Amino acid sequence: MFKIIATDGKARAGALHTAHGAIETPLFMPVATKAALKWVSLAECSAAEIECFIANAYLLSLQPGLAVIKKAGGLHGFMNWSKGIFTDSGGFQVLSEEFLLKINDNGVFFRNPFDKSRSFLSPEKCIEIQNALGSDVAMCLDDVPLHGSSAKRIAESAARTFQWAKRCKETHKSKKQLLFGICQGGTIEKLRRKSAEQISSIDFDGIALGGLCIGEPKQKMLRMVSLSNKIIPPEKPRYLMGVGSPKELLQCIALGIDVFDSCFPTRTARHGLAFTEKGNIDVCKSAFKFDFNPLDAKCACPVCTQHSRAYLHHLFKVKEENSKMLLSVHNLHFTANLVKQAREAIRERKFGQLVKRFKQL
């Protein structure tokens, strides 16, 4: 169940009620594909006030396998995580040509990345896996066209995604677990609109926008978000898959998106990119060699309170693995804090002021 607490323009602050408590929105989720974040422990996630993350159901069903996770009391028990967990169907793997063998109306044929065997995922199987994992929110299986696909392929993927969405809804019987549908349609307005209408016609607990942020121009992505949000019923939580840069988070919150996931904060951190209120900085650059300021003067994370840019610059220069962990922790804190500030600003109807404060992003 989703409850909107406040709105400011199109921006919304709400609460998504799950089996593991209410999760406040706007919400940012880091990606924990194999039930872990890269370089960041779950304890550090909690300290960064991360309320939820998204794991890959398909990969977890292969390794360690559902028998292990079920015996541990579900994914929450296995990881010892008491807050929210979304699982995605594995549809995102379709984007990876390395794993995809064939896709047809029955489902997706993958190459098992662990033992290279052939494996098959249908909409029904994808729901059964996510039920067994016991995540708070399950995602439908969708057919994601690669960036640059033809209009014919995008139309085919959107039509298939709708058929699969109906089969997922039919299979999903869990009362504890929420189920979100996913819209496709690439950046073709007519197809994106039609997909939003089709997926919205099914009574899902939330609606996600998929197949965006995969290389298309940013203005096009924002346009697709804007037109989709006019179609998705306002009482449903709206989830934009794949967005996680500070600037895009604020832009999409302003358009009425409630939930985000992305590996952007941690992936870029591993390459030396740190988020700050005044924009992203690359600590590998020699400009930071003698910079004894913290990454971000206002950030209260354990990295900013203990280390200087010069020290972090040094760690990257000498390729100390520690550097990846430290910057990942900072970027997660920064991102979690940014969406928290957005929630508070929306409640106080000061979201516009917050956006102005971050205009240098």
- Packing angle of the helix pair 322-347, 309-317 (nearest 10 deg): 140
Which of 96, 86, 88, 75 is CA-nearest to residue 168? 88
Contacts of 292 (CB under 8 A, 6+ apart): 308, 309, 310
Q: Is 257 in the site for Zn ion (CB under 5 A)?
A: no
Q: Is 126 a binder of Zn ion (CB under 5 A)?
A: no
Q: Of 8, 142, 258, 261, which one is the catalytic site residue? A: 261
One residue of 140, 141, 213, 299 binding Zn ion per CB under 5 A: 299
- Among residues 13, 32, 59, 301, which is the contact residue for Zn ion, using CB under 5 A? 301
Q: Could you tell me the smallest distance in angstroms from the CB atom of residue 334 to Zn ion? A: 6
CB of 238 or CB of 330, closer to Zn ion: 330
Burial of 79 (0-12, 13-18, 19+ CB in 10 A): middle
Q: Does residue 281 touch Zn ion according to CB under 5 A?
A: no
Nearest C-alpha neighbor of 333 from the set 293, 294, 275: 275
Q: Is 304 in the site for Zn ion (CB under 5 A)?
A: yes
Which of 94-102, 296-304, 316-324, 344-352 is the region at the interface with Zn ion (rule: CB under 5 A)?
A: 296-304
Side-chain half-sphere exposure of 307, counting CA atoms within 13 A: 20
State in angstroms the smallest separation of the CB of 275 from Zn ion.
Answer: 8
Could you give the string, one character per residue 316-355, with x where binding to Zn ion holds by CB under 5 A and - elsewhere? --------------x-------------------------
Compute the least distance from the CB of residue 270 to Zn ion, in Å. Answer: 16
Cβ proximity to Zn ion, 3 vs 271, nearer residue: 271
Q: How far apart are CA 16 and CA 227, in angstroms?
A: 23
CA 255 to chain centroid: 17
Is 88 in the active site?
Answer: yes
Distance CA(129)–CA(186), nearest Å, equals 27
In whole angstroms, what is the distance from residue 114 CA to residue 55 CA? 17
Binding string to Zn ion for residues 205 to 224, with x set by CB under 5 A, is what? --------------------
> Minimum distance between the CB of residue 50 and Zn ion, rounded to whole angstroms?
14
Strand partners for 181: 207
Among 48-56, 64-72, 276-284, 300-308, the segment contacting Zn ion (CB under 5 A) = 300-308
Six-digit token pair at 327? 């910057």
- Marked catalytic residue, from 88, 136, 258, 296: 88
Residue 301 has a CB neighbour count (10 Å cut-off) of: 23
CB of 301 to Zn ion, least distance (A): 3
In this structure, the dihedral spanned by the alpha carbons of residues 337, 338, 344 and 346, taken in order and rounded to 10 degrees, is -160
Interface with Zn ion (CB under 5 A), residue total 5
Residue 55 or 303 with smaller CB distance to Zn ion: 303
List, by residue number, the catalytic residues.
88, 261
* Contact residues for Zn ion, defined by CB under 5 A: 299, 301, 303-304, 330
